[in-house]
Amino acid sequence: MKNLKYAVALVSVMLTGPVLAQQGPPPGFAALHDALRLRPDQEQAWQAFQRASVGDPQEAERHREAFERMDRLAAPQRMDLSIQLMRSDLEQLERWGDALKAFYATLSPDQRERFDRETLPPRQ
Protein backbone atom coordinates (compact mmCIF):
# COMPACT_ATOMS: atom_id res chain seq x y z
CA MET A 1 0.00 0.00 0.00
CA LYS A 2 2.97 2.31 0.63
CA ASN A 3 4.00 2.10 -3.03
CA LEU A 4 0.45 2.85 -4.11
CA LYS A 5 0.29 5.91 -1.89
CA TYR A 6 3.68 7.14 -3.10
CA ALA A 7 2.90 6.59 -6.75
CA VAL A 8 -0.57 8.02 -6.66
CA ALA A 9 0.70 10.99 -4.68
CA LEU A 10 1.62 12.27 -8.12
CA VAL A 11 -2.07 12.94 -8.55
CA SER A 12 -2.27 15.33 -5.64
CA VAL A 13 1.21 16.79 -5.83
CA MET A 14 0.95 17.12 -9.61
CA LEU A 15 4.62 17.01 -10.49
CA THR A 16 5.43 18.86 -13.68
CA GLY A 17 7.93 18.63 -16.50
CA PRO A 18 9.36 15.30 -17.63
CA VAL A 19 7.31 13.30 -15.11
CA LEU A 20 4.08 14.43 -16.76
CA ALA A 21 5.35 13.41 -20.14
CA GLN A 22 6.00 9.78 -19.33
CA GLN A 23 4.82 7.16 -21.80
CA GLY A 24 2.12 5.63 -19.63
CA PRO A 25 0.04 6.36 -16.58
CA PRO A 26 1.95 6.89 -13.35
CA PRO A 27 2.73 3.75 -11.39
CA GLY A 28 -0.07 2.92 -9.01
CA PHE A 29 -2.94 3.96 -11.26
CA ALA A 30 -4.00 0.36 -11.87
CA ALA A 31 -4.04 -0.31 -8.12
CA LEU A 32 -6.04 2.87 -7.52
CA HIS A 33 -8.49 1.86 -10.23
CA ASP A 34 -8.95 -1.52 -8.57
CA ALA A 35 -9.25 -0.03 -5.08
CA LEU A 36 -12.00 2.33 -6.22
CA ARG A 37 -14.10 -0.51 -7.67
CA LEU A 38 -15.35 1.71 -10.45
CA ARG A 39 -18.73 1.18 -12.03
CA PRO A 40 -18.96 0.88 -15.82
CA ASP A 41 -20.48 4.38 -16.06
CA GLN A 42 -17.36 5.82 -14.37
CA GLU A 43 -14.84 4.26 -16.76
CA GLN A 44 -14.95 7.00 -19.39
CA ALA A 45 -14.09 9.70 -16.83
CA TRP A 46 -11.36 7.44 -15.41
CA GLN A 47 -9.85 6.98 -18.87
CA ALA A 48 -9.86 10.75 -19.49
CA PHE A 49 -8.23 11.33 -16.10
CA GLN A 50 -5.61 8.69 -16.83
CA ARG A 51 -4.85 10.15 -20.30
CA ALA A 52 -4.48 13.64 -18.81
CA SER A 53 -1.97 12.31 -16.28
CA VAL A 54 0.37 11.03 -18.96
CA GLY A 55 1.37 14.31 -20.53
CA ASP A 56 2.77 15.11 -23.94
CA PRO A 57 6.06 13.46 -25.02
CA GLN A 58 6.72 16.40 -27.36
CA GLU A 59 6.48 18.74 -24.38
CA ALA A 60 9.03 16.64 -22.51
CA GLU A 61 11.36 16.92 -25.50
CA ARG A 62 10.90 20.71 -25.56
CA HIS A 63 11.78 20.83 -21.85
CA ARG A 64 14.89 18.71 -22.41
CA GLU A 65 16.04 20.90 -25.29
CA ALA A 66 15.38 24.07 -23.29
CA PHE A 67 17.48 22.83 -20.37
CA GLU A 68 20.29 21.94 -22.77
CA ARG A 69 20.23 25.53 -24.12
CA MET A 70 20.33 27.18 -20.69
CA ASP A 71 24.13 27.39 -20.48
CA ARG A 72 24.24 29.30 -23.78
CA LEU A 73 21.74 31.95 -22.70
CA ALA A 74 22.19 35.18 -20.78
CA ALA A 75 20.45 35.41 -17.40
CA PRO A 76 17.43 37.41 -18.68
CA GLN A 77 16.93 34.90 -21.51
CA ARG A 78 17.17 31.99 -19.08
CA MET A 79 14.54 33.64 -16.93
CA ASP A 80 12.22 34.15 -19.92
CA LEU A 81 12.70 30.54 -20.99
CA SER A 82 12.05 29.31 -17.45
CA ILE A 83 8.83 31.34 -17.30
CA GLN A 84 7.74 29.92 -20.66
CA LEU A 85 8.41 26.37 -19.43
CA MET A 86 6.51 27.00 -16.21
CA ARG A 87 3.53 28.35 -18.14
CA SER A 88 3.52 25.22 -20.24
CA ASP A 89 3.70 23.08 -17.10
CA LEU A 90 0.84 25.06 -15.56
CA GLU A 91 -1.32 24.47 -18.65
CA GLN A 92 -0.66 20.72 -18.38
CA LEU A 93 -1.40 20.82 -14.67
CA GLU A 94 -4.68 22.63 -15.32
CA ARG A 95 -5.70 20.00 -17.91
CA TRP A 96 -4.88 17.30 -15.39
CA GLY A 97 -6.81 19.14 -12.69
CA ASP A 98 -9.86 19.50 -14.94
CA ALA A 99 -9.79 15.78 -15.71
CA LEU A 100 -9.37 14.96 -12.02
CA LYS A 101 -12.35 17.13 -11.08
CA ALA A 102 -14.52 15.60 -13.80
CA PHE A 103 -13.58 12.10 -12.67
CA TYR A 104 -13.99 12.92 -8.98
CA ALA A 105 -17.50 14.21 -9.66
CA THR A 106 -18.50 10.72 -10.84
CA LEU A 107 -17.40 9.04 -7.61
CA SER A 108 -19.68 7.98 -4.80
CA PRO A 109 -18.98 9.38 -1.31
CA ASP A 110 -17.21 6.14 -0.34
CA GLN A 111 -15.09 6.21 -3.49
CA ARG A 112 -14.20 9.85 -2.88
CA GLU A 113 -13.09 9.03 0.64
CA ARG A 114 -10.89 6.21 -0.68
CA PHE A 115 -9.52 8.38 -3.51
CA ASP A 116 -8.68 11.17 -1.06
CA ARG A 117 -6.97 8.74 1.29
CA GLU A 118 -5.06 6.85 -1.39
CA THR A 119 -3.75 9.98 -3.13
CA LEU A 120 -2.37 11.76 -0.10
CA PRO A 121 1.29 12.61 -0.60
CA PRO A 122 3.63 10.63 1.64
CA ARG A 123 4.58 12.36 4.86
CA GLN A 124 8.20 13.37 5.12
Q: Is 85 helix (H, G, I), strand (E, B) or coil?
A: helix
* 28-38: pLDDT as tens digits: 888 999 999 99
- DSSP notation for 29-61: HHHHHHHHT--GGGHHHHHHHHHHHH--HHHHH
At 51-103, the pLDDT tens digits run 888 877 888 888 889 889 989 999 999 999 989 989 988 998 899 999 999 99
How many other CB atoms sit within 10 Å of the CB of residue 92? 20
d(CA 24, CA 65): 21
92 and 59 Cβ atoms separated by less than 8 Å: yes
Q: So what's the pLDDT on residue 5?
A: 47
Q: Which residue ranges make up each domain of the chain?
A: 2-118
Beta carbons of 27 and 3 less than 8 angstroms apart: yes
